[in-house]
C-alpha cells in the first residue's frame, strides 16, 4: 500500500466535490500518504473559490460537475486571482470539450475518478511540482483531436484549437524565433502526455538534470511560463 515518499513538506490539498461519500473516500485515500494532507473540503465551486483565498492550498483537487458553480468556471475564477494556483480536475467524464475547457481555464491536471490511488498520488505530487498531468487515455484523446485536425501534408490547419469559451484559439501564431530540436520535440511530446521530469528522463534514458534542462529550454523557446502553457502552445502549433 502506498504510504507516501520521503518528502517531509506536506502537500496541502483542498478537496472540492459535491458528493459527501466521494469526498470521504478521496480524503481517506489521500491521507494514506505521509506527504499529502487534506486541509479543507468544499461542496461547490463558489465555496471553493472562497476557500482558496482563505486557506491558500498547494493543490486544489476539484470535481468538474457541481452545483452553484461548476469546477471549470471555479478554476477560471481561481486562476484569474492567482495564475500560479495548482489545480487538478477530477471527473468521471473524458469528453474532449471538458478536457480542453479545463486546460484553458488554468488546470494543470485532468484525472478520471476511477484512477488508481497510486496514480492519484502521482498526479497530486506532479502538479505540486509544476508539472502537467493527464491520464494517459485523456492525453491520447487530446492528441488525437489535434492529429485529426492536421491537413494531409502534415501542416496544422487554421482553427484546430477550441478554447473553453468555444471560440477558436488557433489564430496565426508567429514563427518561433528558434525552432525546437528533435530531442526537444521528444521531450515536449512527453510533457504534453503529462510525464514528470523524472518520467521524461526514464523514458529517454537521460539524467534528471538533463530532462530539466530540456524542459527549461522548451519553455524559453515557446515563451511561456509553465508546463501547462507549453502543452497548450504545443498543441495549438501542431508540434505534437
Provide the CATH number for the domain around residue 156: 1.10.10.10
Residue 51 located in a structural domain? yes
- Is 185 found in the same domain as 123? no
Task: Examine the domain organization and report whether 90 and 158 are in the same domain.
Answer: no
Same domain, 111 and 163: no
Range of the domain at 60: 11-134
Closest CA to 89 of 101, 28, 240, 235: 101
User: How far, in Å, CA of 136 to CA of 191, rounded?
Assistant: 12
**C-alpha cell belonging to residue 8:** 517531509
What's 181's DSSP letter?
Answer: P
Question: Per the structure, how many domains does the chain have?
Answer: 2
End-to-end CA distance of the chain: 36
Residues contacting 12, CB < 8 A, separation 6+: 37, 39, 55, 57, 58, 59
Same domain, 117 and 225: no
Same domain, 109 and 142: no
Q: Indicate whether 226 and 188 sit together in one domain.
A: yes
User: How do the pLDDT tens digits run along the chain, 240 residues long?
Assistant: 444 444 458 999 999 999 999 999 999 999 999 999 999 999 999 999 999 999 999 999 999 989 899 999 999 999 999 988 999 999 887 677 777 788 778 888 888 888 889 889 988 998 998 877 777 666 666 655 544 544 344 444 433 333 333 333 443 567 788 889 999 999 998 888 778 889 999 999 999 999 999 999 998 888 877 777 787 778 777 787
Domain C-terminal end among 134, 158, 187: 134
Residue 143 in any domain: the answer is yes
Is 125 found in the same domain as 15? yes
Amino acid at each position: 500500500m502506498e504510504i507516501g515518499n520521503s518528502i517531509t513538506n506536506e502537500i496541502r490539498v483542498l478537496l472540492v466535490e459535491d458528493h459527501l461519500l466521494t469526498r470521504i473516500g478521496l480524503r481517506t485515500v489521500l491521507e494514506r500518504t505521509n506527504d499529502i494532507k487534506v486541509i479543507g473540503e468544499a461542496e461547490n465551486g463558489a465555496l471553493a473559490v472562497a476557500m482558496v483565498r482563505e486557506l491558500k492550498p498547494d493543490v486544489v483537487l476539484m470535481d468538474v460537475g457541481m452545483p452553484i458553480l461548476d469546477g471549470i468556471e471555479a478554476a477560471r475564477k481561481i486562476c484569474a486571482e492567482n495564475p500560479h494556483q495548482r489545480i487538478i480536475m477530477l471527473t468521471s467524464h473524458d469528453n474532449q470539450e471538458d478536457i480542453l475547457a479545463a486546460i484553458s481555464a488554468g488546470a494543470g491536471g485532468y484525472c478520471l475518478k476511477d484512477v488508481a490511488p497510486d496514480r492519484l498520488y502521482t498526479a497530486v505530487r506532479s502538479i505540486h511540482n509544476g508539472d502537467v498531468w493527464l491520464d494517459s487515455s485523456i492525453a491520447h484523446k487530446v492528441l488525437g483531436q489535434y492529429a485529426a485536425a492536421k491537413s494531409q501534408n502534415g501542416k496544422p490547419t487554421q482553427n484546430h484549437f477550441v478554447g473553453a469559451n468555444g471560440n477558436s484559439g488557433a489564430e496565426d501564431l508567429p514563427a518561433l524565433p528558434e525552432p525546437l530540436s528533435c530531442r526537444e520535440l521528444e521531450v515536449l511530446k512527453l510533457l504534453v502526455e503529462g510525464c514528470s521530469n523524472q518520467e521524461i528522463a526514464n523514458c529517454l534514458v537521460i539524467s534528471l538534470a538533463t530532462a530539466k534542462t530540456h524542459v527549461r529550454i522548451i519553455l524559453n523557446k515557446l515563451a511561456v511560463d509553465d508546463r501547462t502553457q507549453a502543452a497548450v502552445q504545443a498543441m495549438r502549433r501542431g508540434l505534437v
